[in-house]
Structure 1
Amino acid sequence: MMQQKPLTKRRVLGIVFVILGGALGITAFPEFWRVVHLELVTYLNNGITNAVLGAIIFYLLFLVLANPMLRAMRQLEKALFKQSPSFLLFGSVFSLIGLLLANVVSIPLYRMPIFVLNTVVPILLMIALGYLGFKVGTTRLDEWRKFLQPKKRNADVLERKVDDNFRKYKILDTSVIIDGRIKEIAKTGFIEGTLMVPNFVLHELQLISDSADNLKRARGRRGLDILNELQKDESLSVEMYDGDFEDLTEVDGKLVKLAKLLDGIVVTNDYNLNKVCEFQNVPVFNINQLANTLKPAVLPGEAMTVTVVKAGTERQQGVAYLEDGTMIVVEDGQHYLNKPLDVIVTSALQTAAGRMIFAKPAHQQKGLNEK
């Protein structure tokens, strides 16, 4: 018993070419025989001969075009696999609408006796309107989703209008998702509106989670876990942005452009992205700046107890840390390594990297006061 060969992509494409060639041969060859004055030769001008000739011609075309077409199909598959289900759904639906419209417009043309009008023009219309439908469906995904979502009762009353004091979309970058604090901040209600995760940020997270470096891989997977937790939390409004900006390669540039497009706010921990947003007048939330702002104020003369954990760089300094991570530089602190020490704050310095406190041992300050 002969083993049946599997239907490969190449074989299926060849069958499609042969069937299409046969169908076009039946349609086009009668006109060809008429032009060359052979329409009365019955063994040439008949359905079977026309179909066979059309199939042979298209099979020869297939032999020439097969490899380029298969390469194009593989590239198309890779591009489609990267897209979200909503991108594919809206693209397919609107493409079908475009094809249906092309068929409706072509109904009068099908009755024309001229081959170009009854065959070529309808095909061109299908290609043009199908492509137009695909572009309409995939370039305005957010608007279509909002249009199809049922409006909640009193939505018009509860929905805040976008103005200088409120912007609906808070666009998350990779660093803030990996950091994870955004989830707890959003749950407290301090961040209003919708958390938006662009598809290109998700793609960057996937690349990091697939990294050969163990630390990067762990950070990427943590980011994906945080993202899943955000989506599962019903108390939070989280949306994906499926579009992309193919003219830009850097994720930071895409985030800035998206924020301008949606009149949103970029949420980040990245110092450089923060500066780029400020330079381009794009609103930005920096979680690290928020954390530094929320640290309790420390005033000169305030007393506290710390543990010096390492030596400093100058004047036998010692370095200690508060529970929130604030670094304290203690003068002459090297003599008290790994011991609790009462200190008096002398000054505090706020930098872009955080806050730094300078202090002296309390007994030294007390001695100076007694003198």
Structure 2
Amino acid sequence: MKSSWSMRLVRALFFALSVFVGIAIALGMGEPAWVGALMGLGYMGLLLVLDVMFARFSLRDFSHATIGLAIGLFCAWLVTRIGVFQLTYFQNQENPEVVQNIVEVCVYGSLAYLGVSFALRSDRDHFAFLIPFVRFRREGSEGEPVVIDLSVAGDSRVLRVLGTGFLSGTVVMPRFVLDELQRMADSEDMITSQRGRRGLEMMEKLRGLPEARVSVHENAGSADLPVEARLVTLAREVNARLLTNDEALARVARLRGITVLSFPELVAALTVELGVGDELNLLLTKPGKEKHQAVGYLDNGTMIVVNQAAALIGQSVEVIVCGAHTTTAGRLIFAELKNKPV
């Protein structure tokens, strides 16, 4: 991952500071300045190596590891305070104090390692069980993050919705989703390649939206799991909502306790339910079943049958809803002309 300009600036400042401090220490000890400069460079090099090693170690992972370390050290302190070193075996050693120190170091190191290891493998539900009154969740007016999946990566509605500011919260683009889009874009299949390129273009435009806060999440999780399972795991880890058009993925995510945002469900929720007496403007497109009828369609595909309108096919007319009927194919609405011909 390319470093941002701010990260490069921080590294440059620490680089200069390390060299300066190294020279100051060397001169204070009576050593040549170049020795101190080399010491500073070596120290900064070690920091850069650690930085690269922990590039995918997030602040959430650090907080989990800190809690696990504290629990492990506390358990080690309890073990060393239960009088185990008063046993005859330890007292009969040639140097009991040395043996005790070695055993204590091993106990502290082992339990600290196990505490950190268990904590990094745990999610927020495990911590909520351990600490019932603490919840690891985000607070504030910006809302919870939103994780984008493959099914909406190339959906232009994402840009329109985020551009209006209707959907709040940081948009999280998983690195493995971007990698999958790149793999699709490089595919020899023309349709798959077009989908991949369109998805990458949408993600690039999304990052350019001033109304959207976009973050690329580098933690790829287990590469052995399918993308859908990794999305659910990521959403749970970062306490985020999942934006998807995949109904199966939405059901699995809800079963795992994740809030799901779905464009098809949003469209269905915003669909106007016409009732008797409602008026609307309708384009009549074809004849109806009866000779006097004409048919028009709403934007969502609902068919409206207008009586006494066969002569007006091809025109937009004002109609009044007079009834509705639900069939296996959907909802069928009947209407009359508002201004009936004389």
TM-score (norm 2): 0.52
Deviation, 1:231, is 1.2
Code of the aligned partner of 1:137? F
Code of the aligned partner of 1:138? A
Aligned pair in 2 of structure 1 residues 235, 256: CA closer, same or farther (>3 Å)?
same
Q: 2:205 aligns with which of 229, 232, 243?
A: 229
Q: 1:328 aligns with which of 284, 295, 303?
A: 303
Root-mean-square deviation (CA), in Å?
Answer: 4.5
Code of the aligned partner of 2:300? G
Contact 2:275 2:321 in 1 (8 A): no
| Separation in structure 1 between the aligned mates of residue 241 and residue 153 of structure 2, nearest angstrom | 15
Structure 2 partner of 1:243? 219
Contact 1:167 1:264 in 2 (8 A): no
Contact 1:345 1:358 in 2 (8 A): no
Matched, 1:339 2:256: no
Structure 2 partner of 1:174? 150
Q: Helix, strand or coil for the counterpart of 1:85?
A: coil
Cα deviation per residue 1:18-71 (whole Å; 9 max; x = unaligned)? Answer: xxxxxxxxxxxxxxxxxxxxxxxxxxxxxxxxxxxxxxxxxxxxxxxxxxxxxx
Contact 2:296 2:305 in 1 (8 A): yes
Identity of aligned residues (%): 25
TM-score (norm 1): 0.48
Code of the aligned partner of 2:172? M
Contact 1:298 1:348 in 2 (8 A): no
Q: Helix, strand or coil for the counterpart of 2:222?
A: coil
Q: 1:360 aligns with which of 330, 334, 340?
A: 334
Cα deviation per residue 1:123-158 (whole Å; 9 max; x = unaligned)? Answer: xxxxxx99x95895033246699xxxxxxxxxxxxx
| Separation in structure 2 between the aligned mates of residue 170 and residue 350 of structure 1, nearest angstrom | 37
| Separation in structure 1 between the aligned mates of residue 146 and residue 334 of structure 2, nearest angstrom | 43
Structure 1 partner of 2:57? 140
Matched, 1:209 2:185: yes
Deviation, 1:265, is 0.6
Q: Helix, strand or coil for the counterpart of 2:181?
A: helix
Q: Helix, strand or coil for the counterpart of 2:154?
A: helix
Q: Return 5+ residue gaps in structure 2 as ranges.
A: 12-45, 63-136
| Separation in structure 2 between the aligned mates of residue 297 and residue 243 of structure 1, nearest angstrom | 44
Q: Helix, strand or coil for the counterpart of 2:220?
A: coil
| Separation in structure 1 between the aligned mates of residue 165 and residue 284 of structure 2, nearest angstrom | 37
Code of the aligned partner of 2:282? V
Aligned pair in 2 of structure 1 residues 85, 304: CA closer, same or farther (>3 Å)?
same
Structure 2 partner of 1:197? 173
Q: Helix, strand or coil for the counterpart of 2:264?
A: helix
Deviation, 1:205, is 1.6
| Count of residues paired in the alignment | 222
| Separation in structure 1 between the aligned mates of residue 284 and residue 225 of structure 2, nearest angstrom | 46
Contact 1:310 1:337 in 2 (8 A): no
Q: Return 5+ residue gaps in structure 1 as ranges.
A: 1-83, 94-128, 146-160, 367-371
Contact 1:208 1:220 in 2 (8 A): yes
Kindly report which structure 2 residues correspond to 1:277-292, keeping only aligned pairs within 5 A, or say none: 277-292=253-268
| Separation in structure 1 between the aligned mates of residue 335 and residue 55 of structure 2, nearest angstrom | 65
| Separation in structure 1 between the aligned mates of residue 166 and residue 229 of structure 2, nearest angstrom | 27
Cα deviation per residue 1:236-269 (whole Å; 9 max; x = unaligned)? Answer: 2100011112254321111100011111110112
Q: Helix, strand or coil for the counterpart of 2:168?
A: coil
Aligned pair in 2 of structure 1 residues 235, 302: CA closer, same or farther (>3 Å)?
closer
Q: 1:294 aligns with which of 267, 270, 295?
A: 270
Code of the aligned partner of 1:284? V
Aligned pair in 2 of structure 1 residues 290, 336: CA closer, same or farther (>3 Å)?
farther
| Separation in structure 2 between the aligned mates of residue 221 and residue 337 of structure 1, nearest angstrom | 45
More helix by share: 1
Q: 2:2 aligns with which of 80, 85, 103?
A: 85
Kindly report which structure 2 residues correspond to 1:17-96, keeping only aligned pairs within 5 A, or say none: 84-85=1-2
| Separation in structure 2 between the aligned mates of residue 347 and residue 134 of structure 1, nearest angstrom | 65
| Separation in structure 2 between the aligned mates of residue 338 and residue 207 of structure 1, nearest angstrom | 49
> Which structure's CA Rg is the greater one?
1
Aligned pair in 2 of structure 1 residues 165, 237: CA closer, same or farther (>3 Å)?
closer
Q: 2:249 aligns with which of 254, 273, 278?
A: 273
